[in-house]
Amino acid sequence: MNEPIPQLPSYDEASLDNAFATLAEEARTTDTTDPEAFRLHWLGRKQGRLKLITEAWLKSAPPEAKKALGIRFNQLKQQIEAALDAPAAKPTTAVQGIDITLPGTLRAPGIPHPLLKTMHEIVSVFHHLGYSTNLGPQVESDFYNFEALNFPENHPARDTQDTLVIANQQSRPSRDRLLMRTHTSPVQIRTMIAQAPPIRIVIPGKVHRNDAADATHSPIFHQIEGLCVDTNITFSDLKGTLDHAMKALFGSDVKTRFFPSFFPFTEPSADVQISCIFCGGKGCRKCKHSGWIELLGCGMVDPAVFAAVTAERRKINPSDDAYNPEKITGFAFGMGVERIAMMLHGVSDIGHFYSGDMRFLEQFA
């Protein structure tokens, strides 16, 4: 139990200084090796020294002495709290030595994601053919994503069932309304508006469509498109380019074939198939016993696309004629990165690429 606080002989400055100096010396010499005991001795709610000082001196002091008493009381309290915060007043823990015989922490090196790895492999093939890489925004306007690419106003792809649109765009002109790009083709338009022929580019990137997720579909996926525009570009150039690219990706024994198709931005258009890399073209379950796997789409750039580009370029230079379809031609192609990655690595569910499951991803280390 704490000793009682003696009564003050007087409330003059000298008496107060002397009384609080005695208490300060007592606080300074109190053992702090047990912080909890020290705290209870001075700051305990019932029998702490400061509580007793309040009862004995502050409550019975005349009004004119309360200010001087309060100042000295707060100084004493700050001294006690500082002693509690001092390192000597804090409990110490034993510091264990380092056992150098234990194995060290192993930091596994990072690896490229299989989708990025596949994307880089595809882009590298076209870099060796003299193509450069261009990129663009994922949030696009209707003009770049649809209008300039010759999509009619009532085309199903423009419907919200197929395309993810940005909210509150109704007040804007239709060509300026924003959406999540459904393909990387808008970068083709942006490049042609900014640059005169010749152009040879590949465009890797993420695209978005309003698709339900299943084993072969995802609302977010990746594409690589290509564009070549110059004088005297023919369909034979397109076939030779893609045949070389497929052989570089899947092996020199792979064959390619082209079937007529339709895309609003190319004419003529074609779907490209490669001989099945699993059965060598003999027919198996993965190629539905046909011996062929459809892989990408392509075609010659439609003159209507060149006309849209020319109209935009003439806003800056009225006499611009760089994309006159009577002088230049071009071809374009596009492929899904996930589809190729699934074929190369034998993955059956596209969702594995986005699951973040390290057991799956570590297979590609």
- List binding-site positions for Mg(2+): 267
d(CA 95, CA 209): 58
Indicate the annotated binding residues: 267
d(CA 195, CA 322): 9
d(CA 82, CA 76): 10
C-beta of residue 266 within 8 angstroms of C-beta of residue 238 = no
C-beta of residue 292 within 8 angstroms of C-beta of residue 257 = yes
State residue 263 phi and psi, 5-degree precision: -135, 140
Q: Count of residues for the chain? A: 365
Structure token digits, residue 5: 């606080």
Is the bond preceding residue 35 a cis peptide, omega within 30 degrees?
Answer: no
Alpha helices by DSSP H, listed for 46-96, are 49-53, 63-85
C-beta of residue 148 within 8 angstroms of C-beta of residue 265 = no
- The H or E element containing residue 257 is strand 256-263
d(CA 336, CA 15): 91
